[in-house]
Amino acid sequence: METLLRLALQKSGRLSEASVQLIEACGIHFNRANHRLRCQADNFPLEILYLRDDDIPGYVADGVADVGVVGENVVAEKRRPVEVLERLGFARCRLAIAVPRSTPYDGLADLEGLHIATSYPNLLSDFLRENGIEASIHEISGSVEIAPSIGLADAVCDLVSSGSTLLSNGLKEVETVMRSEAVLIGRPDLPPEKAALLDALRFRIQAVLKAQNFKYILLNAPNEAIDRIVELLPGMKSPTVLPLAESGWSSVHSVVNENDFWEVIENLRAAGAQGILVVPIEKMIV
């Protein structure tokens, strides 16, 4: 019987879509026909389970799934014995405390004695305790942001990405409890054959994630400027320099970190680079 690595994904929502895109970018093909909650990849020994995000840490900890993709906030709240294997860089958000816009707020001391509604009682409790705040916590499973307007709570502690939901419900963000992103989680006791499959999957994921942070660039430059341009373009090891048909000119190929991209491009132009082309990188293996 073929050994399969079981991967738990959130069954719906933006994190689910981004997770599927990541797996597909790893060259793994699967078909979730009729929104089935279980499917198998065509070209990699991987079985995918679609679950509620809150359930994923438990399924991984209990061995029903071998690995899972879930928000870091869920892992921290559920406190199951799982390990964060990879930080995936998408579904970034923050767990924040918000109060009605009409409520004066000068600092943490203003939370003292408040009634706070949240779906994350453990994380909120830790935050309040660490800051010496005595407040009551009302746990609710959804629609947290309406709690103050219906008289259920004085404040809320909820996930925030753009902040538009808070604004539309008359709230203002006052404290950040934690920052979160999607993570790949696993358990340390995988049998050797599944551990080998996990290593292969992580290798692909890492190649995709590295590529997202870099751009491939090609440019033309006069030969007398090559030394200066090479200094500006360290690349993965060193840039590739190829002679052009036109005498005295060369083509230079390299990669640039996304964070440094515009500064490097400006410096290249100042050094004499021309005809600069920028190409996205699909995978990057170092």
**pLDDT tens digit sequence for 168-213:** 899 999 999 999 999 999 998 899 999 999 999 999 999 999 998 8
> Do 30 and 19 belong together in one domain?
yes
CATH number of the domain where residue 43 is located: 3.40.190.10
Average pLDDT on 242-263 reads 90
Average pLDDT on 23-37 reads 86
Average pLDDT on 71-85 reads 96
Last-in-domain residue among 192, 211, 230 = 211
- 102 located within any domain: yes
Q: Which pLDDT band, with edges at 50, 70 and 90, does 235 fall under? A: low
> Do 22 and 57 belong together in one domain?
yes
> Do 238 and 251 belong together in one domain?
yes
Mean pLDDT of the chain: 92
> Do 10 and 74 belong together in one domain?
yes
> Do 64 and 189 belong together in one domain?
yes
pLDDT at 49 over 80: yes
pLDDT at 234: 66
- 81 located within any domain: yes
- Could you tell me what percent of the chain has a pLDDT over 90? 75
- 285 located within any domain: no
How much of the chain is helix, strand and coil, in % rounded to 5?
35, 30, 35
> Do 53 and 154 belong together in one domain?
no
121 phi/psi in degrees, rounded to 5: -65, -35
pLDDT at 165: 86
pLDDT at 132 over 90: yes
pLDDT at 13: 84
- 286 located within any domain: no
Last-in-domain residue among 190, 211, 232 = 211
HEC readout, 2-45: CCCEEEEEECCCHHHHHHHHHHHHCCCCCCCHHHCCEEECCCCC
pLDDT at 55: 96
- 58 located within any domain: yes
> Do 79 and 206 belong together in one domain?
yes
| Nearest alpha carbon to residue 88 among 165, 5, 1, 7 | 7
Last-in-domain residue among 126, 158, 180 = 180
> Do 140 and 10 belong together in one domain?
no
pLDDT at 71 over 80: yes
CATH number of the domain where residue 242 is located: 3.30.70.120
Q: How many domains does the chain have?
A: 3
Q: Which pLDDT band, with edges at 50, 70 and 90, does 236 fall under? A: low
Question: For residues 90 and 159, what is the distance between their CA atoms, to the nearest angstrom?
Answer: 15
> Do 128 and 20 belong together in one domain?
no
Question: For residues 150 and 172, what is the distance between their CA atoms, to the nearest angstrom?
Answer: 16
pTM of the model: 0.86
- 262 located within any domain: yes
- 101 located within any domain: yes
Q: Which domain holds residue 139?
A: 93-180
> Do 13 and 47 belong together in one domain?
yes
> Do 84 and 100 belong together in one domain?
no
- 78 located within any domain: yes
Range scoring the smallest mean pLDDT among 73-77, 81-85, 273-277: 273-277
> Do 128 and 235 belong together in one domain?
no
pLDDT at 87: 97
